[in-house]
């Protein structure tokens, strides 16, 4: 593992969120953007299956080591996601940390994207970036001014655009597969869903569920999203109350870490399926969900539609029908994971990781 460390922060100031064991990452780049002054972290977890692919997150952190912990965790998840999805891609992630009290205007955001482009370029093609939380296809176009190793550019610039539609489609297919496993029917009509987070993916998913005749309760940290709840006839609750709602399926579509032991204790649902990355606050929560007989569809399988779209749609001669079938096939993978966990008496996390690691091991 190569670590390039630029920020002048005392070694003793290490966030508790950092892993205590040595990272298994191939490379971790930590640099201070010369234009923006922001800490930029690029974590390349694995290139065993090919060039690492994972989005760029622009987010506010209490300390830069929190951003480092996020990058390490997210990049490892991308390795598992890309492997489980059958892509010839490794896993990586980039994070731009906005310090407390700092606000970015249009110019400083552009500077941050240019700095990110330089950081990605310095890795010599080991990692390709794309949009993620806090970034967009338009911002990826700015990154593209400094590196070719970026995907998901706007369609009017020759790119394939943002992958939110594909991500939402994969989550919807996963929900149907989970419904069939738990209830014997994959029809969402009449089922009650609690959707937490109405952003690019969560909003699309809520519309799909409404069209299918589902009942649902929704929430978001942005109060303005309540307008979508009203439009769809959904019940609105405050974010801290969503996990207390009695329903069929809990659907986390915001930031990660939502499934703590305390939240799982309070859940009154039969299943959890959502778009959020890193939903488990810790690995042992997977066992807690199993103990409570709550079926959890592992996030890195469920939300792979976006990365499949970015990887496949950008290839010459990409066929839309084949791409749609590939994304719909995420439901089949989820079904296989749930069956395997049940047959072997393991958690669904262990079952999903087994699929990913088998492919990684085969590439040695």
**What long-range pairs does 261-267 form, CB within 8 A, spacing at least 24?**
261/285, 261/288, 264/288, 264/289, 264/292, 264/294, 265/292, 267/243, 267/292, 267/294
Read out DSSP for 69-138? HHHHHHHHHHHHHHHHTT-S-EEEEEEEEEPTT----HHHHHHHHHHHHHHHHTTTTSEEB-B-TT--HH
**How many CA atoms lie within 13 Å of 115's alpha carbon, on the beta-carbon side?**
25
Given a contact cutoff of 8 angstroms between Cβ atoms, the answer to whether 105 and 64 are in contact is: no
Maximum Cα–Cα distance for the chain, whole Å? 57
Question: Does residue 93 carry a catalytic annotation?
Answer: yes
Say how far apart CA 331 and CA 308 lie, in whole Å: 14
Expressed in angstroms, the distance from the first to the final Cα of the chain is 18
Separation of CA 15 from chain center: 22
Q: Which one from 81, 93, 211, 225 is the annotated catalytic residue?
A: 93
Annotated catalytic sites, by residue? Answer: 93
């Amino acid at each position: 593992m190569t670590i390039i460390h630029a920020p002048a922060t005392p070694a003793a100031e290490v966030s508790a969120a950092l892993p205590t064991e040595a990272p298994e990452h191939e490379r971790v780049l930590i640099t201070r953007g010369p234009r923006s002054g922001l800490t930029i972290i690029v974590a390349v977890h694995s290139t065993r299956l090919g060039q690492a692919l994972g989005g760029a997150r622009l987010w506010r952190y209490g300390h830069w080591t929190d951003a480092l912990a996020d990058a390490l965790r997210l990049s490892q998840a991308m390795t598992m996601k890309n492997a489980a999805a059958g892509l010839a891609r490794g896993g990586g992630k980039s994070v731009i940390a906005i310090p407390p009290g700092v606000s970015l205007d249009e110019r400083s955001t552009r500077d941050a994207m240019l700095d990110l482009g330089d950081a990605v370029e310095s890795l010599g093609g080991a990692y390709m970036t794309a949009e993620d939380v806090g970034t967009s296809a338009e911002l990826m176009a700015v990154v593209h001014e400094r590196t070719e190793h970026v995907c998901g550019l706007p369609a009017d610039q020759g790119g394939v655009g943002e992958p939110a539609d594909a991500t939402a489609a994969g989550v919807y297919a996963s929900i149907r597969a989970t419904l069939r496993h738990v209830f014997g029917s994959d029809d969402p009509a009449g089922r009650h869903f609690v959707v937490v987070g109405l952003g690019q993916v969560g909003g699309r998913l809520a519309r799909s569920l409404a069209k299918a005749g589902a009942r649902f309760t929704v929430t978001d940290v942005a109060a303005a999203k309540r307008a979508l709840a009203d439009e769809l006839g959904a019940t609105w609750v405050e974010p801290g109350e969503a996990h207390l709602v009695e329903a069929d399926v809990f659907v986390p579509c915001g930031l990660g870490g939502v499934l703590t032991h305390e939240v799982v204790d309070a859940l009154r649902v039969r299943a959890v399926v959502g778009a959020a990355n890193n939903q488990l606050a810790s690995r042992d929560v997977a066992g807690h969900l199993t103990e409570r007989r709550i079926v959890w569809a592992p996030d890195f399988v469920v939300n792979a539609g976006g990365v499949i779209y970015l990887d496949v749609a950008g290839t010459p001669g990409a066929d839309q029908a084949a791409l749609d079938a590939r994304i719909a096939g995420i439901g089949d993978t989820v079904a296989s994971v749930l069956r395997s966990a049940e047959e072997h008496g393991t958690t669904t996390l262990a079952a999903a990781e087994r699929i990913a690691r088998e492919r990684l091991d085969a590439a040695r």
